Amino acid sequence: MSDAPIYLDNNATTACDPAVVEAMLPFFTEQFGNPSSMHSFGNKVGFALKEARARVQALLGAEHDSEIIFTSCGTESDNTAILSALKAMPERNQIITTAVEHPAVLSLCDQLEKEGYVVTRLGVDKRGRLDLDEYKAALSPRTAIVSVMWANNETGTIFPVEEMAELAHAVGAQFHTDAVQAVGKIAIDLKKTKIDMLSLSGHKLHAPKGVGVLYLKRGTRFRPLLRGGHQERGRRAGTENTASIVGLGVACELAQQYLAYENTEVKRLRDKLEAGILAAVPRCFPTGDVANRLPNTSNIAFEFVEGEAILLLLNKAGIAASSGSACTSGSLEPSHVMRAMGIPYTAAHGTTRFSLSRFNTEAEIDRVIAAVPPVIAQLRKLSPYWGESGPKAESFAPAYA
């Protein structure tokens, strides 16, 4: 059995596909031209961008290639989308989002709230699901933008964004979705939806870091975040990150090819991993909407142990995962997603996310299934909350089921 490191943190970032790297390399050397230039140096690069744009368009099912705007990252796309809607519709002052968004959306909304905008944060139930009635009640003629993630980064829970976009349009609001976790893992066909804007991040789908996309449906009122040159048709000024955009194009083409694989083989490995851990470790449970989530994500809450300690021991065993524990972020509270779902503190600090990719193998999953139970047992042995074979009688009840 090999003991090479096992990477199960693909919702944080992914490895660049070797084919992506290969496609990028010429753009660091002979293909250095500025696509805006008139000469042949620029011209060739311009064609490469056009090709990349078409590949992104294909993966997203966008109707027009001009709906694809290259940005620097998912966060930039999120910020651009929300700020654009507010600027384009100054008569509207409400933002609707969810309590479980990525900080790229939540922190911005917190700031906008301080500046006087009305922010409605939809709650979730204990399985991480939205209440569409609550959403309908929140929509109003004052709503400028609704921003709801397509899939949650921590639990993989999928939100009904297509339906929510229809509802937003009914009150004249724009609809944006942060789809950085969803793209490449679930089928997306934007031309058939009412989604106005969508954020994509390259490094979540085996492209490099530092490149993202904002999908902007034709006809959606838009105000740029960055003004300057005419790049991206004046909607995102700044010389294009050509090598990364070319890489993203290849990554999108590969993502399309592997979409079925993600939903069969990767899903099978994820299910095997989760079932194996749940069977071997007492007092743990999967979080989120397990019947309706990304095929690659499993988030397991281990009761009475702390997540950072789990990660350190897993890391020692050559396994990379992540945690919703407060201690991994330097804050005092465990993950806002776990708290929004009402996961009790006894379990929230021990939530551990395993996120797979097409590069994971069956042998790796077997190794992880074998490695996790002793790690949890070791930490529980150290814990004052844990007795010989379960939580101590005087400790914290009731247990979460």
Shortest CB 382 distance to another protein, Å:
5
What are the angstrom distances between the C-alpha of 244 and each of 53, 72, 221, 278, 390? 12, 9, 28, 40, 50
Does position 381 bind another protein by CB under 8 A? yes
Does position 394 bind another protein by CB under 8 A? no
Handedness of CA 85, 86, 91, 93 (dihedral sign): positive
Angle 91-92-93 from CA coordinates, rounded to 5°: 120
- The only residue of 25, 187, 312, 370 in contact with another protein, by rule CB under 8 A: 312
- The only residue of 345, 369, 373, 377 in contact with another protein, by rule CB under 8 A: 345
Phi, psi dihedrals of residue 5, rounded to the nearest 5°: -60, 145
Shortest CB 62 distance to another protein, Å:
37
Token output for 199:
């954020």
- Considering only residues 208-267, where is the footprint of another protein by CB under 8 A? none
Number of residues that bind another protein (CB under 8 A): 28
Q: What is the DSSP string of 126-168?
A: TTS-B-HHHHHHH--TTEEEEE--SB-TTT-BBP-HHHHHHHH
168 touches 217 (CB < 8 A)? no
Does position 117 bind another protein by CB under 8 A? no
Shortest CB 364 distance to another protein, Å:
21
For residue 163, give the amino acid letter. E
Smaller CB separation from another protein, 165 or 300? 300
Distance of alpha carbon 290 from alpha carbon 31, whole angstroms: 46
- The only residue of 88, 259, 317, 327 in contact with another protein, by rule CB under 8 A: 327
Does position 302 bind another protein by CB under 8 A? no
| Strand, helix or coil for residue 355 | strand
Angle 145-149-155 from CA coordinates, rounded to 5°: 155
What are the angstrom distances between the C-alpha of 124 and each of 57, 134, 330? 32, 10, 25
Cβ-count burial 204-226 (b if 16+ within 10 Å, e if not) = bbbbbebbbbbbbbeebebebbe
- The only residue of 104, 130, 309, 338 in contact with another protein, by rule CB under 8 A: 309
295 touches 267 (CB < 8 A)? yes
Does position 382 bind another protein by CB under 8 A? yes
Instruction: Name the one range near another protein by CB under 8 A: 81-89, 249-257, 262-270, 327-335.
Output: 327-335
Shortest CB 339 distance to another protein, Å:
11
Instruction: Name the one range near another protein by CB under 8 A: 147-155, 257-265, 280-288, 329-337.
Output: 329-337
| 327 in active site | yes
Does position 332 bind another protein by CB under 8 A? yes
Determine which one of 16, 109, 284, 327 is catalytic: 327
Does position 291 bind another protein by CB under 8 A? no
Shortest CB 346 distance to another protein, Å:
5
Shortest CB 379 distance to another protein, Å:
8
> Residues with catalytic annotation?
327
Binding residues for another protein, rule: CB under 8 A, are 304-309, 312-313, 315-316, 325-328, 330-332, 334, 345-346, 349, 381-385, 395-396
